Amino acid sequence: MGVYDELGLQPVINAAATLTALGGSRMPRPIVDEMVAAGRSFVDLREMQLRVGRRIAELTGNEAAYATSGAAAGIVVAVASCIAGTDPAKIIAFPYLDGIERCEVIVHRSQRNGYDYAARQTGARLIEIGSAAADLHQAISARTACVLWFAGAHFAEGALPLPEVVGIAHERGVPVLVDAAAQIPPIANLWHFTREVGADAAIFSGGKGLRGPQCSGLVLGRQEIVDGCRLNGNPNHSIGRPMKIGKEELAGLLAAVEWSLDQDEGAILAGYESTVQGWSAGLAGIPGVTVERGYPSEAGQPHGRAIVHFQPPCPWTRDEVVKALWEGEPCVAAGVPHGVDDAIALNPQTLEAGEEEIVLAKLQEILAGVPERPEAAIR
């Protein structure tokens, strides 16, 4: 395992999700090869950034594209673009924004989450709204830079649908940004939010469903937004300067988009479903353990997960199972479904062939025993 062995790190079998804390995803060999090749020489980084963006825009049918060091960095530079555009005097005003009128970002109250820090770090003020159209109408003013809308099934409740947000915002000349970091699959989302729904820009992670470098991301959409991203981003001395994406990541991201567009997505999703059914069958009959198919995924992707519940007479709690999987050999990461305290979520998306069987065997082994705690015998 190379560096992992040298550092005494244990590799993880990831049955949770494409989480940054676990390394995002795994890159197929062609993507790794392109990154290695790009690292063998110097290049004009600005020109490479420009040409990679043009190529990805062409592949996805978008007006323009900009490669970032991740989806959160994409939010930073896209919001900065909406505030400052390509105006040098405004670009150097971050993060205090003295004298800049359009420095408010509208978000749904129900969609507030840790990733909106990326918008706030520009110095922008977030204006919260409820789920009524009148709330959005009232919130838009001469100070509004953009509306930031978070995609995903878990963000839908309590928020206006994106087409309605786009319609209202565009009536007032306000751009709409979509954080779609984990919204692949389906691959069609690379053009759905922009070309089909009309958002001004959609922001994706390069290291999740695209299976590119973890420290890469994409802003896709209108040329004006992308032009502003470029001037507010690396290698320019602006708010995005620390969010560096290098020649290797640029090459890897382009290769990831090309590779992803070339895959049989239907077959991949069918494979995920087969894995979920296999887990369900393999855990059937264990006292107190029930399995349901969770659909869509935790990020709203069009594939299932196995939601495994632990109730009496099963002696294990959810947290004990998560701990035993993580501390076992091999180390297995399981997800925790939102709002459920008695279940784990097993996600097939991040597994290599054969790992689904290892996950099942490890879980069967754990459940065949009892947790090491005094109260286990009386539960």
Q: What is the DSSP string of 194-216?
A: IIIT--SEEEEESSSTT-S-TT-
Q: Which residues contact 40 (CB under 8 A, 6 or more apart)?
A: none
For 220, list phi and psi in degrees, rounded to 5.
Answer: -120, 135
Tell me the one-letter amino acid at 171. Answer: E
d(CA 149, CA 160) in angstroms, rounded, equals 9
d(CA 39, CA 246) in angstroms, rounded, equals 9
- 58, 59, 83, 179, 193 from 62: Cα distances, Å: 7, 8, 22, 16, 10
- Looking at beta carbons, which pairs linking 308-312 to residues 24 or more positions away fall under 8 Å? 308/279, 308/283, 308/343, 308/344, 308/345, 308/346, 308/363, 309/340, 309/342, 309/343, 310/342, 310/343, 311/342, 312/288, 312/379
In terms of Cα–Cα distance, which of 221, 240, 227 is closest to 87?
Answer: 227
What tokens were used for 120?
Answer: 């706030």
- pLDDT score recorded for residue 378: 45
Low-confidence ranges of the chain (pLDDT < 70): 1, 375-379
Tell me the one-letter amino acid at 39. Answer: G
Q: What is the length of the chain? A: 379
d(CA 43, CA 248) in angstroms, rounded, equals 11
In terms of Cα–Cα distance, which of 95, 114, 128, 90 is closest to 19?
Answer: 114
- pLDDT score recorded for residue 81: 98
- pLDDT score recorded for residue 1: 59
- pLDDT score recorded for residue 7: 94
Tens digits of per-residue pLDDT, 161-199? 999 999 999 999 999 999 999 999 999 999 999 999 999
Tell me the one-letter amino acid at 183. Answer: Q
List beta partners, residue 346: 306
In terms of Cα–Cα distance, which of 219, 159, 176, 211 is closest to 350?
Answer: 211
Tell me the one-letter amino acid at 27. Answer: M
- pLDDT score recorded for residue 8: 93
What tokens were used for 225?
Answer: 């937004």
- 42, 44, 226 from 47: Cα distances, Å: 12, 5, 15
| Domains, the chain, with CATH or none | 3-19+264-378 (3.90.1150.180), 42-261 (3.40.640.10)
DSSP 8-state class, residue 375 = G
Tally Cβ neighbours within 10 Å of residue 169.
Answer: 23
Phi-psi category of 320—alpha, beta or left, where left has phi over 0 and alpha has psi -120 to 50? Answer: alpha
Residue corresponding to tokens 């180390």:
331
Indicate the SS3 state at residue 54. Answer: helix
d(CA 260, CA 133) in angstroms, rounded, equals 37
d(CA 4, CA 100) in angstroms, rounded, equals 48
